[in-house]
Every structure is written in structure tokens, then in C-alpha cells.
């Protein structure tokens, strides 16, 4: 078992480069299944989740060349299976986005039902309603979801009750090969949806409106492979911005699109952080005091739930009262207990609200990463805590941060990964 050892107190200074976006490349890799010829993808982050989705595709018969760093060639000429088993899906819920492309390409898909996770129950009802509207027959038994459309899918008008990212992706991919036009109303508008749609269009799909509140997909008969370069990871970039702010540092984040960071940049500025935006880099400095602010998570373009834990870590050391309202997931406060163990003063008001009184003097201790972004929050708190913070359950952090130790060390942090006997 590995642990992270963080010794707090160092000011972060320098330049750090963001990797490709985990939440863009996972559905994009799944989407490659729609192409009858190989695809080549670039800016693929080296992450456990990427290895997992590649494992699912290999199981389906896709030949994957991952010999070049940050690149993948996916030969999807022949798909030989229609099933993704539990062992592959259980470690990563996002594996479920294979269902849409597999159903469209094979007329049949059977995927293990993803479980809940530390941040919420995360049902898949919106995905399934969408597939049914496209004419698929859905059954659920023995822990699997099975979708059938032996005569192909048919375009439909679909209204999503909530702009779910995964449901938008899954339905959009399935609709690419449906007969006729699909209209998806109230879809997710995240930049990762736009990146996926751009790749699908390069593959021969006809999608308009991705990134707005109506997506129209005109079905095509065949799709082919394509070249694609993934967008930068806005959540990884945001995590380094907060690291810079909390340590009163001076950091340039490279490979970041400021356009995708608007809600976070607005809140950082409100908290007193100095931000300079350039085309593909952001300069973050924090010479003065951090001020408490109020944050409410929302679907894009609102403040991202995937930045909530990290932002809360920053609020613990900011002057005055801050509040957080988590509206996207019903149980995304697992980091509160751990931050309080480090000396923070956070009170939850039900499952979705938190009040943070600052500034707290954080002190290092043994903590656990309860999920991916909670793990990032522990690292951030450790960077400013007095003494040593030891973080366990690193598999969560490995899902979504490429070389976080190397990148933070490059900025001057005192952080190392050690192996300990169980």
C-alpha cells in the first residue's frame, strides 16, 4: 500500500503543465467503438481510469497500441463481444459510457450495472430512458444492464430531467448511428461534451449544438476512425491554481483554456487571488490574504462539483466565513471530517450545505482520500499544514491526477510517495 507524505509550509513557484482531460478522454475512448476503422488519440493522460477503459475495450476485441506516451491507437475494425463484465466496470463507473456506442454498433450490449460510490448513489435512469426512447429494449438482472436493438435505433426527441454528463454522452453516441434525427433537450453543456461531439463529427457523425441546451444528431449509416487531440483537464488545472493560492505562491499553469475555467476564476478572484489569463496559460499569484466566499456547485457553466473539495480546503484557511452548497451530488462532503481532523472548522448543514469558519491553523496528521477530489483536497491541506500529513487510499487520486507528486515537486512542494507494508 502506498501513502503520500506531505510536509507543509513551502510556497509554490514555477510552471506546471496540465494533462489531457480525464472526463473527455474516457467517453472519447469509448466512442472509438463506433468507427469501423482505427482512431488515433493524442493528449491522453497516464491515469488508472484510462487503463481501465482500455481494459474494457480490449475485452470487446479492440486492439490498442499504447506504446507512445500520451497517445493511443485504437483498432476498432472488429468488435468481437458485446459485454463488459463486473471486474472491469466496478473500479470505474465511467465504463458505463461504453453502452451507447456498443449498442449502436452491435445492436446489443450487456454492461455490468455500475454501483454507487462515495459521493452519491449515482443512478443510470436517464441513460436508460434515453436508450428506450431510441427504441432499445432494456432489461436489468443479475447486476447487468442489457440493451437490445436488433433492427437498429431510431431517432427521437429526448428531454433530460437533469443535464447529466454521462447520460448526454451515452445517448449522443448511441444516436449517431440511429435512423433519423435525435433532439436532446436539456443536455449537459460541459466542455467535455463538446470535445466528444467534435471527435464524433470527425468520425462522420452529424451533431450540432453540443455545448448549448439543445443537441441535434442526424443519424448516419457508418462511422470511421479519426484523429483527435483531447482538451486540457480543467479540474486538474484548477487544483494547481488552488495550490498556488493556498501557499501564497506564484504559478503559471500551462495547457489550460481560461474559457473553461470561468466559474472557478471568478471565485478565486473574489477570494483575493490574482489571476492573469492568456490564450493557453493562466498565471496565479496570491501575495495577500485569502477571503471567505460562498460557492454553489451547478452543472456547467456553474461552479464544478469536481472542484468543491479542493475549494473547501482553501476556504479553511481563508479569512472569515465561507459557505458551500453542493447541488449536483447528494453526498459529496466526505472530506469535511478529514479536513476537520486537520484543524479546520467546518460544520455541515444537512447533506448539501457546509459553513466554513476561517482562518484555521491546519496541522498535519494521518488522513484518507475517500474519493478522487477529496484526496486532492487532502494534498492541498497538507501543503499548508504545520508538520507532516500522511495520506492513504491513493488509488482514488491515481484515477485522476497524472504524476501529481512530480508536478507539485516541480513547483517546490515537499511531497513524496512511499510504500508501506499492510
Ligand X SMILES: CC(=O)N[C@H]1[C@@H](OP(=O)(O)OP(=O)(O)OC[C@H]2O[C@@H](n3ccc(=O)[nH]c3=O)[C@H](O)[C@@H]2O)O[C@H](CO)[C@@H](O)[C@@H]1O
Ligand Y SMILES: C=C(OP(=O)(O)O)C(=O)O
Known binding-site residue numbers for phosphoenolpyruvate: 22-23
When asked if residue 125 is in the footprint of ligand X (CB under 6 A), the reply is yes
Which residue, 123 or 180, is less far from ligand X as judged by CB?
123
Which residue, 127 or 281, is less far from ligand X as judged by CB?
127
Closest approach of ligand Y to the CB of residue 23, in Å: 6
Q: Kindly give, in sequence order, each residue whose CB lies less than 8 Å from that of residue 2, ignoring residues fewer than 6 positions away.
A: 394, 417, 418, 419, 420
Residue ranges for the known binding site for UDP-N-acetyl-alpha-D-glucosamine are 93, 122-126, 306, 328
* 77 to 116: interface string for ligand Y, x by CB under 6 A: ----------------xx----------------------
Q: Which does 400 bind (CB under 5 to 8 A by kind): ligand Y, ligand X, none?
A: ligand Y
Q: Number of residues in contact with ligand Y, rule: CB under 6 A?
A: 7
DSSP assignment of 9-69, as one string? -PPPEEEEE--B-HHHHHHHHHHGGG-SS-EEEES----HHHHHHHHHHHHTT-EEE--ST
When asked if residue 26 is in the footprint of ligand X (CB under 6 A), the reply is yes
| Local structure of 280: helix, strand or coil | coil
Q: Which does 164 bind (CB under 5 to 8 A by kind): ligand Y, ligand X, none?
A: ligand X
| Residue in 328, 339, 380, 404 binding ligand X, rule: CB under 6 A | 328
Q: Which does 124 bind (CB under 5 to 8 A by kind): ligand Y, ligand X, none?
A: ligand X
When asked if residue 372 is in the footprint of ligand Y (CB under 6 A), the reply is yes
Residue with the shortest CB distance to ligand Y: 306
- C-alpha cell read off for 121: 448513489
85-92 long-range contacts (CB < 8 A, ≥24 apart) are 85/59, 85/112, 86/112, 86/143, 88/52, 88/55, 88/56, 88/59, 88/112, 89/56, 89/113, 89/114, 90/114, 90/115, 91/48, 91/52, 92/26, 92/49, 92/52, 92/53, 92/399
Cβ proximity of 296 and 327 under 8 Å: yes
Q: Which does 110 bind (CB under 5 to 8 A by kind): ligand Y, ligand X, none?
A: none
Which residue, 23 or 52, is less far from ligand X as judged by CB?
23
Describe the strand order of the beta sheet including 39-42 as a list of residue ranges.
63-65, 71-75, 39-42, 227-229
Cβ proximity of 169 and 196 under 8 Å: yes
Cβ proximity of 342 and 367 under 8 Å: yes
Closest approach of ligand Y to the CB of residue 265, in Å: 19
Which residue, 94 or 339, is less far from ligand X as judged by CB?
94
| Residue in 41, 62, 88, 94 binding ligand X, rule: CB under 6 A | 94
When asked if residue 127 is in the footprint of ligand Y (CB under 6 A), the reply is no
Which residue, 236 or 317, is less far from ligand X as judged by CB?
236
When asked if residue 373 is in the footprint of ligand Y (CB under 6 A), the reply is yes
Q: Kindly give, in sequence order, each residue whose CB lies less than 8 Å from that of residue 116, ignoring residues fewer than 6 positions away.
A: 122
* 284 to 323: interface string for ligand Y, x by CB under 6 A: ----------------------x-----------------
Which residue, 116 or 180, is less far from ligand Y as judged by CB?
116
E strands, 142-211, are 144-148, 157-159, 181-185, 206-208
When asked if residue 123 is in the footprint of ligand X (CB under 6 A), the reply is yes
Region near ligand X per CB under 6 A, out of 5-13, 101-109, 146-154, 157-165: 157-165
Within 10 Å of residue 156's Cβ, how many Cβ atoms?
A: 18
Round to whole Å and give the CA distance between 29 and 196: 9
Active-site residue 54, yes or no?
no
Chain residues 306-325 in contact with ligand X, contact rule CB under 6 A:
306
Which residue, 54 or 220, is less far from ligand X as judged by CB?
54
Chain residues 287-306 in contact with ligand X, contact rule CB under 6 A:
305-306
For residue 277, the cross-strand partners are 282
Beta-strand pair 294-297/320-326:
parallel
Round to whole Å and give the CA distance between 78 and 21: 27
Which residues have a catalytic role annotated? Answer: 117
Applying CB under 6 A, which residues contact ligand Y? 23, 93-94, 306, 372-373, 400
Amino acid at each position: 500500500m502506498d501513502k503520500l507524505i506531505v510536509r507543509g509550509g513551502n510556497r509554490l513557484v514555477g510552471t506546471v503543465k496540465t494533462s489531457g482531460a480525464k472526463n473527455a478522454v474516457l467517453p472519447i475512448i469509448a466512442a472509438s467503438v463506433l468507427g469501423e476503422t482505427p482512431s488515433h488519440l493524442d493528449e491522453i493522460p497516464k491515469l488508472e481510469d484510462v487503463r481501465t477503459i482500455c481494459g474494457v475495450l480490449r475485452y470487446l476485441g479492440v486492439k490498442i497500441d499504447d506504446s507512445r506516451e500520451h497517445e493511443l491507437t485504437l483498432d476498432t475494425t472488429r468488435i468481437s463481444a458485446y459485454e463488459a463484465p463486473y471486474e472491469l466496470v466496478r473500479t470505474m463507473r465511467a465504463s458505463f459510457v461504453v453502452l451507447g456506442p456498443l449498442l449502436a454498433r452491435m445492436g446489443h450490449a450487456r454492461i455490468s450495472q455500475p454501483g454507487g460510490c462515495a459521493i452519491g448513489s449515482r443512478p443510470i435512469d436517464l441513460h436508460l430512458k434515453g436508450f428506450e426512447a431510441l427504441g432499445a429494449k432494456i432489461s436489468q438482472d443479475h447486476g447487468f444492464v442489457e440493451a437490445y436493438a436488433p433492427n437498429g435505433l431510431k431517432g427521437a426527441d429526448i428531454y433530460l430531467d437533469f443535464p447529466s454528463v454521462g447520460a448526454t454522452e451515452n445517448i449522443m453516441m448511441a444516436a449517431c448511428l440511429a435512423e433519423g434525427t435525435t433532439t436532446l433537450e436539456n443536455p449537459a453543456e460541459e466542455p467535455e461534451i463538446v470535445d466528444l461531439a467534435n471527435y464524433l463529427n470527425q468520425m462522420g457523425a452529424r451533431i450540432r449544438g453540443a455545448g448549448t441546451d439543445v443537441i441535434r444528431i442526424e443519424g448516419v449509416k457508418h462511422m470511421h476512425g479519426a484523429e483527435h487531440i483531447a482538451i486540457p483537464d480543467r479540474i486538474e488545472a484548477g487544483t494547481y491554481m488552488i495550490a498556488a493560492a493556498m501557499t501564497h505562491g506564484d504559478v503559471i499553469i500551462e495547457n489550460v483554456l481560461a474559457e473553461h475555467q470561468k466559474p472557478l476564476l471568478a471565485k478565486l478572484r473574489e477570494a483575493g487571488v490574482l489571476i492573469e489569463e492568456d490564450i493557453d496559460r493562466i498565471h496565479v499569484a496570491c501575495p495577500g490574504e485569502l477571503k471567505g466566499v460562498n460557492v454553489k456547485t451547478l452543472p456547467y457553466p456553474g461552479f464544478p462539483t469536481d472542484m468543491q473539495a479542493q475549494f473547501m480546503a482553501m476556504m479553511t484557511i481563508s479569512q472569515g466565513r465561507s459557505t458551500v452548497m453542493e447541488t449536483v451530488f447528494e453526498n459529496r462532503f466526505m472530506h469535511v471530517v478529514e479536513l476537520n481532523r486537520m484543524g479546520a472548522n467546518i460544520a455541515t448543514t444537512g447533506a448539501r450545505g457546509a459553513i466554513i469558519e476561517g482562518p484555521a491553523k491546519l496541522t498535519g496528521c494521518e488522513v484518507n482520500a475517500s474519493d478522487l477530489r477529496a484526496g486532492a483536497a487532502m494534498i492541498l491541506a497538507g501543503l499548508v499544514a504545520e508538520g507532516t500529513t500522511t495520506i492513504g487510499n491513493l488509488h482514488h487520486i491515481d484515477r485522476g491526477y497524472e504524476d501529481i507528486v512530480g508536478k507539485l515537486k516541480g513547483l517546490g512542494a515537499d511531497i513524496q510517495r512511499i510504500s508501506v507494508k499492510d
